[in-house]
Amino acid sequence: MSRRGLLIILSSPSGAGKSTLAKRLRRWDETLQFSVSATTRAPREGEADGKDYFFVSVPEFQNQVAQAGMLEHARVFGNYYGSPKAPVQAAIESGRDVLFDIDWQGAQQISNSALQEHVLSIFILPPSIAELHRRLVSRGQDEPDVIEGRMQKSWDEISHWDGYDYVLVNDDLDATEQQLKTIISAERLRRSQQPDLVDHVRMLQSQFGDRT
């Protein structure tokens, strides 16, 4: 039987392991499609249109929003970012899952969109705030003031944990990865994701009639 794809949303405060887990999921299932966002900012060196982002003009972006062509969108530091609806809808209708690495605001917009019945939302929590800070420091990517800003933002992000279908505490990366695989495998069998079930049940019911 064929199935519809899932819109898999992963959210977490910075440093909780979301990006690492997303990469592991894509290694586990190479058919898992990562959502490519649209943006009005200029391409940076090495970025390719359609691969890293869909680079569009401000009027084009605003027109897509007005035509309900974005599943979620936001303005960040003067530039617009959003998730185009068309490629996501095409993917799920052909049975491919789409992975979103977004914050709680984007997750809320997608969960309230026209494709909400296909949404699987998962929030990743750190085991402790001290461990979250340690991970941010150990990455060696940010200056102390940037890390402090991420820590302050994490409070707001964590406060929205109860808006998700599943919430996992990432105290062991391998164990959390396995939990994610289990959740996704089960959700792929959700009744709403299997459009052929109706025809199959009707076929079974007709076979009862053949017995008389």
Q: Are 96 and 106 in contact (CB under 8 A)?
A: no
What is the structure's pLDDT at 167?
97
Instruction: Note the pLDDT of residue 185.
Output: 96
Could you give phi then psi for residue 211, rounded to 5 degrees? -80, -15
Instruction: Answer whether residue 21 is part of any domain.
Output: yes
Is residue 1 domain-resident? no
- Residue 178 belongs to what domain range? 7-35+96-210
The SS3 call for residue 4 is coil
Q: What's the rounded mean pLDDT across residues 179-204?
A: 92
Q: Is residue 40 part of a domain?
A: no
pTM, two decimals, is 0.84
Could you read off the pLDDT of 7-21 as tens digits, one per residue?
A: 999 999 988 989 899
Residue 115 lies in a domain: yes
Note the pLDDT tens digit of each residue in 13-68.
Answer: 988 989 899 999 999 999 999 888 899 999 888 889 988 889 999 999 999 999 99
In a domain, 199, yes or no: yes
Alpha-helical runs (H) found in 140-187: 144-158, 173-187
- Cα dihedral value 143, 77, 35, 93, nearest 10: 150
Q: Is residue 53 part of a domain?
A: no
Question: Domain for residue 72, yes or no?
Answer: no
The domain that contains 13 carries what CATH number?
3.40.50.300
Residue 212, pLDDT score: 58
To 5 degrees, how large is the angle CA 72–CA 35–CA 48? 110
Q: Give me the half-sphere count of Cα atoms (radius 13 Å) on the Cβ side of residue 170.
A: 27
Q: In whole angstroms, what is the distance from residue 28 CA to residue 181 CA? A: 8
pLDDT at 107: 92
Number of domains in the chain: 1
Quick check: is 128 in a domain? yes
